[in-house]
Structure 1
Amino acid sequence: MKHSLKKLLMMGFLLLLSVGLLAACGKTGLDNGGDSDNKVTTKKPKELTVGVSVSTLSNPAFIDMKDEIQSYAKEHGTTVQITDAQNDTSKQNNDVEDFVQKKVDALIINPCDSDAITPAVKAANEAGIPVVLIDRSSNGGKVLTTVASNSVKGGKMAANYLVDTVGENAKVAEITGIPGASATRERGQGFDDYAKGKLDIVTKQTAGFDRAKALTVTENIIQAHPDITAIFAQNDEMAVGAAKAVSASGKDIKIIGFDGADACLKLIKKGTVAATIGQRFDKMGQIALDSIYKHYDGKSVSKNIEAPINLVTKDNVAKQ
């Protein structure tokens, strides 16, 4: 009897020990992947490896972001691994899954699509890897923080600018981004809400944040609506494509973009594009890494961090 009791106690002890060991294995940053206030394993920046998934490196604005992340990480001794999703949601999810399998310490994701990225965010959650999102949000999963400009505010700024420059009730077109991306939804919301009753939005067509697609879309818009006086393109790549189509048409159509990318700033200097809502993608990259550094220093991180925006026109473009 005593032998059996002793055996049972020993088995219980071994079971508790094994559970404790399993719980301790694989901790990279978050106990449940979703709460920055949970206890974390403290690490210095030089001890961290961060996986970075960019939606597309064909967009100059995201190249600026990528370059700043690399530069800022190097300054702090952090190892970064960067992938280009090429605007392919399946590739992005696979890239993130690879980072999860590699057990990186943190993830920075610039999502192609706010719905499609959800499974990847949840996979990181299950692995206890903190996730920081840049420019676009995720519609599911838990993230350490989302670093983004206020796209609704930016959309309103764009509409207000057009009201001031082409006048109330002017006929305008809106070229939208990738369907499902939070930036598309929020920039459109801000623009449409402010424009209601002030501008006549005769058409809204998507060009997927792509310059070449925007060129074709704008050509079609001008043919179908030759009396438009302005175009709001939801990013600068599309604004550049739209500008090429407008120049070829010989019409006087005001174009306003969104991002503050170099290619668009050059056209603003020339007068081909009227304005853009300038974002600081370099700052977003720094803020994203700083959020990870704070987290691994045991400090709390705000769930949403707003990056600065400003209206850029020919009057102030030289200061950008």
Structure 2
Amino acid sequence: MSRRTGALGVVGAVLAAVALSGCDRGGDTDLGLALSTMNNPFFVGIKAGAQAEADRRGVKINITDAQNDPTQQINQMETFTSQDVKAAIINPVDSDAAVPAVGVANRANVPVIAFDRGVNGGKVGSTIASDNVAGGRLAAKTLAESLGGKGKVAFLEGQAGTSAARERGQGFEEGIKKYPGIEVVARQPADFDRAKAMDVTTNMLQSHRDLGGIFAANDEMALGASKALGAKSGRDVKVVGFDGTPEGIDAVRNGTLTAVVAQQPELLGKQAVDWALKAARHQPLPKAVKVPVVLVTEKNAARFGG
């Protein structure tokens, strides 16, 4: 080995050591982000926010798509640990089924941050999510008041087993109890999916032709319900969604949806990266971080992107 080659090797080793000692400078910290799906505009927004923050901080991030398969998230977490990431971020397909995936990171001593949905086990440093309970209450209030406090409504539930579906349902139930003139005559999961929501709504309408309103636990289901309702959507039958996707806000703008409770997906993605970097530095973290939601109606929809 020449002196020059040996010197370069020493310099390279020193630079590598310096890189590993940092946390958010010069691309020297790798993060893994396991999304439940990217077949949904909301999660596309989260991905964009996370990637933008990683780029801003000079961090390399590996973003994966589980395609709503919990087994994929276990495999993805194994990939992250094999890449020696400094922290892993998970958006669980299912809050129970994500426990083994978190266990993979725990055994490798890789800190884990959960976002949008919680994990019902394992060691998670912090869970970052929209205030889903408050959002559910806001949706109930908005739907009830749009009907003048009287009428029959249906509830399209989200994917069973997710904390987001459970919390939005909890908030909606708590909120709707304040309106004794409102009767919830039907409720059924449509798994946060537009096509399923269209089918479920079509079946509900056959049994409840006098339905006055629908709360859908995400915008994709609200848009599916709107499709099933046709010309009645937003007019004869009030429809309230939850997410604030561009298409959902556009539907509010044109009156086919009554309102949506808007999350802030780019902010969720940004905060997930920020808290993961804090976890990588072993900084103390709060168990839960709640990101506020906002109500989008026809009156203020022009202020929102869509």
TM-score range, shorter chain: 0.7 to 0.9
List aligned pairs for 1:83-122, cutoff 5 A: 83-122=64-103
Q: Which residue in the other structure is 1:157 paired with?
A: 138
Q: 1:218 and 2:197 equivalent?
A: no
Q: 1:43 and 2:43 equivalent?
A: no
Contact residue 277 and residue 309 of structure 1 kept, 8 A: yes
CA displacement at 1:297 relative to structure 2:
4.1
List aligned pairs for 1:261-272, cutoff 5 A: 261-272=245-256
Q: Which amino acid aligns with 1:131?
A: V
Q: 1:284 and 2:284 equivalent?
A: no
Contact residue 56 and residue 87 of structure 1 kept, 8 A: yes
Q: Which amino acid aligns with 2:148?
A: G
Q: 1:236 and 2:225 equivalent?
A: no
Q: Following the alignment from structure 1 to structure 2, what is the Cα–Cα distance between the partners of residues 97 and 225?
A: 48
Q: Which residue in the other structure is 1:57 paired with?
A: 38
Structure 1 unaligned spans of 5+: 1-40
Q: 1:129 and 2:129 equivalent?
A: no
Q: Following the alignment from structure 1 to structure 2, what is the Cα–Cα distance between the partners of residues 93 and 57?
A: 17
Secondary structure, counterpart of 2:260 in structure 1: strand
Secondary structure, counterpart of 2:31 in structure 1: strand
Q: Which amino acid aligns with 2:22?
A: K
Q: Following the alignment from structure 1 to structure 2, what is the Cα–Cα distance between the partners of residues 224 and 103?
A: 55
TM-score where L is the length of structure 1: 0.84
Post-superposition Cα deviations, 1:270-319, rounded to whole Å, max 9, x if no partner, equal 10001011101111111111112233445322221111201110111111
TM-score where L is the length of structure 2: 0.87
Post-superposition Cα deviations, 1:21-61, rounded to whole Å, max 9, x if no partner, equal xxxxxxxxxxxxxxxxxxxx953213111111111111101
Secondary structure, counterpart of 1:47 in structure 2: coil
Secondary structure, counterpart of 1:239 in structure 2: helix
> Superposition RMSD on alpha carbons, in Å?
1.6
Q: 1:193 and 2:174 equivalent?
A: yes
CA displacement at 1:69 relative to structure 2:
1.0
CA displacement at 1:71 relative to structure 2:
1.5
Q: Which residue in the other structure is 1:314 paired with?
A: 298
Q: Following the alignment from structure 1 to structure 2, what is the Cα–Cα distance between the partners of residues 113 and 299?
A: 27
Secondary structure, counterpart of 1:178 in structure 2: coil
Q: Following the alignment from structure 2 to structure 1, what is the Cα–Cα distance between the partners of residues 38 and 49?
A: 13
Q: Which moved more, 1:43-52 or 1:78-87?
A: 43-52
Change in Cα spacing, 1:132 to 1:92, as seen in structure 2 (3 Å) is same
Q: 1:177 and 2:161 equivalent?
A: no
Q: 1:304 and 2:288 equivalent?
A: yes
CA displacement at 1:190 relative to structure 2:
0.7
Change in Cα spacing, 1:217 to 1:149, as seen in structure 2 (3 Å) is same
Secondary structure, counterpart of 1:152 in structure 2: helix
Q: Following the alignment from structure 2 to structure 1, what is the Cα–Cα distance between the partners of residues 71 and 165?
A: 19
Q: Which amino acid aligns with 2:261?
A: I
* Percent identity between the two aligned chains: 43
Q: Looking at CA atoms only, which structure, 1 or 2, has the larger radius of gyration?
A: 1
Q: Following the alignment from structure 1 to structure 2, what is the Cα–Cα distance between the partners of residues 246 and 203?
A: 15
Q: Which amino acid aligns with 2:251?
A: L
Secondary structure, counterpart of 2:236 in structure 1: coil
CA displacement at 1:227 relative to structure 2:
0.6
Q: Following the alignment from structure 1 to structure 2, what is the Cα–Cα distance between the partners of residues 80 and 61?
A: 19
